[in-house]
Amino acid sequence: MYCLTLTERVCGGDRRYDKRHIDRMNIAILILAAGQSTRMRGVDKLLLDIDGKPLLRRIAEMSSRVTDAALLVALPAEPHPRWAALDGLDITRVAVADAAEGINASLRVGVAALPKDCDAVMVLLADLPDLTPVDITKMLQAVEMKPNARIWRGLTEDGKPGHPVIFHRSLFPELCALSGDSGAQSVVKAHKDHVELVPLPQQNARLDLDTPEDWEQWRKTRLT
């Protein structure tokens, strides 16, 4: 009952998938940036510099360049330095009070904050340093090209599923029911027959950097 009410409040009713709407689908972007970077030994990886700006700001700016739809960023509750990293951007900051629970707390809060007129949401991790505007655009285009899917998911060049992941609005109640730190894997599994995999270059869909050593190696690789 909670999820049905949430769907009505967020998206104006439980409108089921209809491919006739695909040409005018409004796909919001939800950046998940409330994680604690526990493996970074005191360093906030989302504030590390990439090409002159924090990683978090880079992904937010990149997203805003490829779409006019709503852009939301799930963040730890204030005060937190990640909020200032987004100053001046046309985004909606969403505080996740129970961020310590895990990634699904961010999903619940983020979905609840979506505009009423959104038809789908792209869930985008903030710590994918190799993701490009072209990759995000390709994901958005896949929704139009493969309208019979309910989930569209980025794929590495060697065939491993990753991010971003786009969820049709009919799945919002299931996202609202998630808890813990397992992500939306259970939702993807439950609808495996309606998942469209979208090939992206190299490891762009999966490469995240969780430790200082990961970052050091990644920076060395960029220089070669």
What pLDDT, in 10s, does the model give residues 94-134? 999 989 899 999 999 999 999 989 999 999 999 999 999 99
Burial class (CB in 10 A: 0-12, 13-18, 19+), 24: exposed
Task: Return the percentage of the chain with pLDDT > 70, whole number.
Answer: 89
pLDDT category, 221, cuts 50, 70, 90? confident
pLDDT category, 21, cuts 50, 70, 90? very low
Highest mean pLDDT range out of 22-26, 65-69, 124-128, 151-155?
A: 151-155
Q: For position 40, what pLDDT does the model report?
A: 77
Write the CB contacts of 187 (distance below 8 Å, at least 6 apart in sequence).
Answer: 151, 167, 171, 174, 175, 178
Tell me the longest C-alpha to C-alpha distance in the chain: 54
Q: Locate tokens 């690789």: which residue?
A: 221
Region 10-23: what's the mean pLDDT?
Answer: 39
pLDDT category, 13, cuts 50, 70, 90? very low
Domain 2-223 fold is Spore Coat Polysaccharide Biosynthesis Protein SpsA; Chain A (3.90.550)
Burial class (CB in 10 A: 0-12, 13-18, 19+), 45: buried
pLDDT tens sequence across 136-157 = 999 999 999 998 999 999 999 9
Q: First vs last Cα of the chain: how many Å apart? A: 54
- Rounded CA-CA distance 187/129 in Å is 26
Region 14-19: what's the mean pLDDT?
Answer: 39
pLDDT at 17 over 50: no
* Domain boundaries of the chain, sorted by first residue: 2-223
pLDDT category, 10, cuts 50, 70, 90? very low
| Rounded CA Rg of the chain | 17
pLDDT tens sequence across 200-211 = 999 999 998 888
* Residue 42 near residue 143, CB atoms below 8 Å: no
Report which of residues 163 and 209 the model is more confident about.
163
pLDDT at 55 over 70: yes
Residue 198: left if φ>0, alpha if ψ -120 to 50, beta else—which one?
A: beta
pTM across the whole model: 0.87
Q: For position 5, what pLDDT does the model report?
A: 37
Report which of residues 63 and 214 the model is more confident about.
63
- Rounded CA-CA distance 196/99 in Å is 29
Strands (E) across 156-194 are located at: 161-168
